[in-house]
Chains A and B, each alone.
Chain A
């Protein structure tokens, strides 16, 4: 069911949302109409007088939804489409029901045709092949061979990249980290670029992250050596990957930059629980916008990180979430499948069932319990970058150093990247409040706090 808010969420940027709202008035439109589309959901149309001589012809199919407009705007959906849709949501009685005019009927028809073709293609793809057909057997064998060859080629390249990186790290230690602060940024960047060429983007990312540490102020040698040592451990682990347990081997491969196909994951059983959405934020990495959404299992008492990716395009609203329906504070009964790991955190949502209530009684009872859980994970798998921490009760401090504390007088420092300190303080009112954040081993970056009005997302 569409509402004004869900329609506006489709807007490509705030300007379009505003223009869309302004066009959602009967006065702007002529020949408003609607009829049931192929799947029973309404198809809308209307003519909107713009600055040009002819009115713009706007069509909206509310099923997907889909839009078409004769205006020259390159935004999608355009303000006319949004306005028409909004108007329908607000006052459907302004639309006269009836047979669509030709310019609408043609559009519906072309969409129906395309959908049929797509369905046909999909049916073919899932159709079981004739196992014994010699042509199919030959094709499968050829494909398997090609894929194996590609895999071996990548292993060779990664092994070469790993060897080079190992040498580079050891050189750094031989000459002394004190020389690291005088190295030009390009020396890190060149190493990272060679790792990308070696198809080890994960290792490249870790090198790039290290590049800023020598300029990060007091304590930088410790922070840099910590990163270098764990990266070196990753490289050595890769050298004997065949001897590692399969989950740990998967962690090593993930760390270096191999990805796991999500299609394979979906076929696994997964973990059923009531999953609460406890935090989300947007980051940008390698020209990709990444949405990090954290779930927390009520019974399993564990966090799950769901990632969504979108290209960092120029016209998209950068603050907008890629998967807007996973809203902090909501929860659902469902199944998630974790990527193989010794400390499984990254996951995909396999099955999202009914919405359920989320209680603030979930999460760690004390900070000590949270830190023990982190230590346990670190001991098993030393490459976890950010640990989920759902705290049942945290009291923010009111001045620098900014921290949260629990009733046992334990405290955790807050990340310097965390900006909403006074907002958090206002929500807490000086009382203990449920809080979720990402723990990087040194400091906590709060993402969600639960106050009197429910969950509040923080930045």
Chain B
């Protein structure tokens, strides 16, 4: 009679005998099964090893053939919520594959913007790679969450590296991460909660504040920069008394951005006593007059003023204090108080203390996002530049970050058209355009193309190559597809152009062609 239990014990018996070796242990077959009976016919008493291998062959084949699929009692993961948007068209999917395979990784953002604009979803086989891309690049996250849709949010729930994409429903997940994780994961969670719910993030931070290590406090307080409002002031004001210097400075920096804060009022008071307008000389020209602060007292230091100027900057202590005080004052204060246009205030500062004043105004304009002052600083050009030691942004940085993009774009078009050397490395227009992160208008792209071709035709000049690489890279990213044609033709014959140009132009045209193909791939 066949006994399944006896049959299934043949194989383990054979394995055991084989492990020990037939020289030591002879194989003994369990009795009673059909398999055992069949195997006993394979016995060759003269060769124990061959017998074992034969029986092993029979029983392993028996075992393999008798094996069924496993059974699971777990429930399936549950289906992803449906996504009603149409799938992107096959050419667009093919472009995504090319981008993701490393051909033009920097154009992933372009692909996502196009997909979002056309209301299509990404192919489901790309979601894993997209979620990885978002893990590594914060700037792409919101686009990836958008284009990935509910399926990406569903998938992200299974991998903790993708927690950023799990969607609003999981704000609680983030709070759990904040409460239970350590190190960078907590910081990441706090940063995301701050984006979703500024109030909640600050309350959480306040709750645990006294238990956090000084290093963590310094890292965490910076997250309040997103969604900063007057509601944060009380907390930040208390942080001015923190034991850790980095925390105090960060709190003061944030309060300096809140025009209604008590810190800004205190700084404005101090500044008003130090900086005044006088009319002197024969022509009664307006002059900004400066009395440097005498001491950096405890109150001043508490408000975030660093006592020591940067090493080797050649900057005097008192001038350094003045710059930091002015940097916390909304720049409109000065134009209103002196009844002068911002540009006139800057001109009137043309005395011994020009540098600390301008350095302060540059920082303050960026902090308070004052368009009129940003424009005035930009137009003042040389009068609004200070040495690097002052740690102030350049006028073009201030201008391009504060002024609305359309206005910056129009200004750049005008500057490029009016000034022959505007795109040479070192020119302020060049400096502005290479660090301005927005896409260009058609008019701006065409203006740039005209100038670049003009430069390419001037043989032999080395000057024109300085900074060319950065500008070309920017072109490749920023030129709209509508103006792509302006960059494709009309370059001098390559024999006439210096080799560096040939190479740059080749790279540029191939990226622009890729981007053109990318746009076409989304058109139906």
Contact = CB atoms under 8 A, between A and B. Distances in A.
Whether both chains belong to one complex is answered with: yes
Interface of A: 14, 18, 21-22, 25, 27-28, 49, 51, 166, 169-171, 173-179, 221-222, 225-226, 228-230, 232-233, 236, 367-368, 370-371, 375-376, 378-379, 382, 395-399, 403, 405, 409-413, 420, 422-423, 425-427, 429-431, 441, 449, 451-453, 456
Contacts of A228: 53, 56
Interface stretch (B110-118, B188-196, B337-345, B506-514): B506-514
B364 interface: no
B79 A429 contact: yes
6 contacts: A177-B19, A177-B21, A226-B56, A409-B72, A411-B70, A426-B152
B123 interface: yes
B84 interface: no
Contacts of B127: 423, 426
Interface string B1-31: 0000000000100110011111110000000
B66 interface: yes
Nearest to B72: A411
B18 A221 contact: yes
Interface centre among B14, B125, B489, B510 (most CB of A within 10 A): B125
B19 A178 contact: yes
Contact of B158 (A222, A370, A398, A449): A398
B311 interface: no
A367 B68 CA distance: 9
Contact of B18 (A177, A230, A233): A177
B230 interface: no
Interface stretch (B43-51, B170-178, B291-299, B427-435): B43-51
B64 A378 contact: yes
A453 B79 contact: no
Contacts of A230: 57, 60-61
B56 A225 contact: yes
Interface in B69-109: 69-74, 76-80, 87, 90, 93, 102-103
A425 B80 CA distance: 10
Interface residues of B, number: 66
B67 interface: yes
A28 to B, nearest CB: 7
A195 to B, nearest CB: 17
A226 B15 CA distance: 9
B124 interface: yes
A441 B65 CA distance: 9
Nearest to A51: B499
Contacts of B507: 22
Contacts of A179: 21
Contacts of A397: 74, 76-77
Contacts of B489: 27
Given A173-B49, A405-B76, A411-B69, A427 B125 contact: yes
A232 B54 contact: yes
Nearest to A227: B60
Contacts of B57: 229-230, 232-233, 382
Contacts of A51: 499
Contacts of A398: 77, 158
B273 to A, nearest CB: 63
B210 to A, nearest CB: 38
Contacts of B69: 367-368, 370-371, 410-412
Contacts of A412: 69-70
Given A28-B494, A403-B72, A453-B123, A229 B53 contact: yes
A35 B360 CA distance: 71
B76 A395 contact: yes
A387 to B, nearest CB: 11
Nearest to A233: B57
Contacts of A453: 87, 90, 93, 123-125
B385 interface: no
Interface in B406-434: none
A429 B80 contact: yes
B440 interface: no
B154 interface: yes
B67 A375 contact: yes
A25 B78 CA distance: 51
B244 interface: no
Given A410-B72, A426-B155, 9 more contacts: A175-B23, A176-B18, A371-B68, A382-B61, A382-B64, A409-B72, A409-B73, A422-B128, A453-B87
Nearest to A90: B513
B39 to A, nearest CB: 12
Contacts of A395: 76-77
Contacts of A22: 506-507, 509-510
B95 to A, nearest CB: 12
B207 interface: no
Interface centre among A18, A222, A225 (most CB of B within 10 A): A225
Given A225-B60, A375-B64, A411 B71 contact: yes
A72 B125 CA distance: 41
B491 A27 contact: yes
The 7 closest A-B pairs by CB, nearest first: A176-B21, A229-B56, A170-B49, A398-B77, A410-B69, A426-B127, A429-B80
